[in-house]
């Protein structure tokens, strides 16, 4: 048990992946969290704000814009840490996300304080997201740009005492020399909240009420974009609706771009996908982003949840769908296949096989009883391997205690 310690978190989007860990530590410790300005709050967690003093110089070499942004963020974080040190604050442990530069200079300010760094993704022009989808080919500079983009991550890998990755595949993307000090512990799913319902129902923002009597197909992403296979899904959805006249499709997500190439001003991937061919919009519900409770109710109602992704960071949504006992039909890509075994706790399909995806969903809608055991097995997988309170959080706290001890 960790008690009476000062723990400092670093993440530009408070609280990010650290929400549950912060809440657990705040019960018996002083928890400080350095982040950009945020309306979010957690009981017992002291939020400290920082921000870079400027944007990258527009005249800089294009490869260096990302690294300069990380240096500026690292510099802003370091200045805040120096101020804390001048006030007499010396944390017992620093925990930070490495994606935006916050952890770059931590060991220069607090060289004797253990640093645990969260490594979400190491970039490469081969073997992962870049070049995966021939419909959106990488530009010729991608390999050069990504090599430079990794420079900050390499510095963090060298300096950190220990590291965390949420999946084994994401860890495997890191350079071999650093992998021995990286542990694999997922952020965890709260299965007390994400659970099946005996009588599921949900009311969508447009007032539509859905329950288990309606054959509902769901798709969820932070934003509707190629990285999460939205263009593939909407093509499959046309076939699903044609095959099953009673089916409803519910699409959750925004119209911004989280990953990959941005479109010209005013265009969205949703509009582009819908312009390809007609689809019955009276049976397709685009909800935007939903309140968390509504989102979970939707997963409970869903008869088939489609999760498609490039080989990239694993979404929380696929694990939450599994936790609700939903049948998940997912792309046979890394790191999805680390979680789902085809025919055992879900269905894996070729990311690009529009007809194959549509047919598997149609089968699930026609004969849900044939697939019910997969949903039950999916929830058991989450309970056994990804349960927040019983698996992931205890493992995280054990690691922290070892580092402090």
Give pLDDT tens digits for 110-160: 999 999 999 999 999 999 999 999 999 998 899 999 999 999 999 999 999
pLDDT over threshold 90, residue 266:
no
pLDDT band at 324 (very low <50, low <70, confident <90, very high): very high
Give the relative orientation of helices 230-243 and 269-276 as an angle to the nearest 10 degrees. 40
Contact 95, 18 (CB under 8 A): yes
305 shares its domain with 373: yes
**pLDDT reported for residue 245:** 93
**pLDDT reported for residue 405:** 87
pLDDT over threshold 90, residue 260:
no
Rounded to whole angstroms, the Cα distance separating 42 from 311 reads: 33
13 shares its domain with 118: yes
**pLDDT reported for residue 240:** 97
**pLDDT reported for residue 278:** 84
pLDDT over threshold 90, residue 209:
yes
**pLDDT reported for residue 263:** 86
Cβ neighbourhood burial of 41 (10 Å; 0-12, 13-18, 19+): exposed
Matching residue, tokens 């959805």: 237
Number of domains making up the chain: 2
137 shares its domain with 216: no
344 shares its domain with 391: no
Neighbouring CB atoms inside 10 A of 275's CB total 8
State the distance between the two ends of the chain, measured CA to CA, in whole angstroms.
10
Local structure of 185: helix, strand or coil: coil
Mean pLDDT of 28-38: 96
Q: What is the CATH number of the domain that holds 273?
A: 3.40.50.2000
256 shares its domain with 360: yes
The pair of structure tokens assigned to 383 is 């309970």
Q: Is residue 51 in some structural domain? A: yes
pLDDT band at 265 (very low <50, low <70, confident <90, very high): confident
pLDDT band at 262 (very low <50, low <70, confident <90, very high): confident
128 shares its domain with 112: yes
180 shares its domain with 52: yes
Q: Is residue 196 in some structural domain? A: no
Q: Is residue 194 in some structural domain? A: no
Among 126-140, 165-179, 295-309, the minimum mean pLDDT is found in 126-140
181 shares its domain with 63: yes
pLDDT over threshold 90, residue 261:
no
Could you tell me what percent of the chain has a pLDDT over 70? 100
Mean pLDDT of the chain: 96
Mean pLDDT of 67-71: 96
Which residues fall within 8 angstroms of residue 324, CB to CB, at 6 or more apart? 194, 195, 196, 197, 296, 299, 300, 302, 379
Range of the structural domain that residue 346 is part of? 201-385
Q: Which residues partner with 46 through β-bridges? A: 32
Nearest one of 195, 184, 279 to 237, comparing CA atoms: 279
Rounded to whole angstroms, the Cα distance separating 237 from 217 reads: 9
106 shares its domain with 229: no
Q: Is residue 261 in some structural domain? A: yes
Mean pLDDT of 330-336: 98
Widest distance between CA atoms in the chain:
68
**pLDDT reported for residue 161:** 98
**pLDDT reported for residue 35:** 96
Q: Is residue 49 in some structural domain? A: yes
Please compute Rg for the chain using Cα positions: 22
140 shares its domain with 243: no
């Amino acid at each position: 048990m960790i008690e009476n310690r000062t723990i400092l978190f670093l993440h530009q989007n408070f609280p990010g992946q650290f929400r549950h860990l912060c809440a657990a530590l705040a019960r018996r410790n002083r928890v400080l969290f350095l982040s950009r300005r945020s309306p979010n709050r957690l009981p017992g967690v002291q939020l400290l704000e920082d921000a870079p003093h400027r944007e990258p110089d527009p005249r800089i070499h294009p490869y260096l814009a990302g690294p300069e942004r990380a240096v500026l963020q690292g510099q802003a974080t370091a200045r805040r840490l120096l101020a804390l040190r001048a006030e007499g604050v010396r944390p017992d442990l620093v925990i930070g996300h490495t994606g935006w530069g916050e952890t770059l200079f931590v060991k220069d300010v607090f060289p004797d304080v253990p640093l645990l760094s969260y490594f979400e993704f190491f970039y490469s022009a081969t073997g992962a997201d870049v070049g995966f989808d021939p419909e959106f080919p990488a530009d010729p500079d991608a390999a050069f740009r990504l090599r430079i983009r990794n420079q900050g991550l390499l510095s963090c890998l060298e300096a950190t005492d220990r590291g965390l990755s949420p999946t084994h595949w994401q860890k495997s993307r890191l350079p071999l020399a650093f992998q021995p000090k990286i542990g694999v512990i997922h952020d965890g799913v709260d299965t007390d909240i994400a659970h099946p319902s005996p009588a599921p129902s949900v009311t969508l923002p447009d007032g539509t009420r859905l329950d288990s009597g309606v054959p509902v197909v769901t798709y969820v992403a932070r934003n509707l974009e190629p990285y999460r296979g939205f263009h593939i899904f909407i093509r499959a959805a046309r076939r699903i609706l044609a095959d099953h006249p009673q089916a409803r499709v519910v699409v959750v997500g925004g119209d911004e771009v989280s990953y990959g190439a941005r479109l010209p001003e005013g265009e969205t991937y949703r509009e582009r996908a819908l312009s390809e061919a007609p689809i019955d919009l009276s049976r397709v519900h685009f909800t935007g982003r939903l309140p968390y409770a509504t989102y979970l109710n939707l997963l409970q109602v869903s008869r088939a949840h489609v999760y498609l992704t490039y080989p990239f960071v694993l979404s929380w949504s696929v694990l939450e769908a599994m936790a609700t006992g939903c049948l998940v039909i997912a792309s046979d890509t890394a790191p999805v296949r680390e979680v789902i075994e085809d025919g055992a706790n879900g269905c894996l399909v070729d990311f690009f096989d529009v007809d194959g995806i549509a047919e598997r969903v149609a089968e699930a809608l026609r004969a849900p009883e044939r697939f019910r055991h997969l949903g039950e097995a999916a929830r058991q997988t989450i309970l056994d391997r990804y349960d927040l309170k019983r698996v992931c959080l205890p493992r995280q706290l054990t690691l922290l205690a070892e580092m402090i001890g």
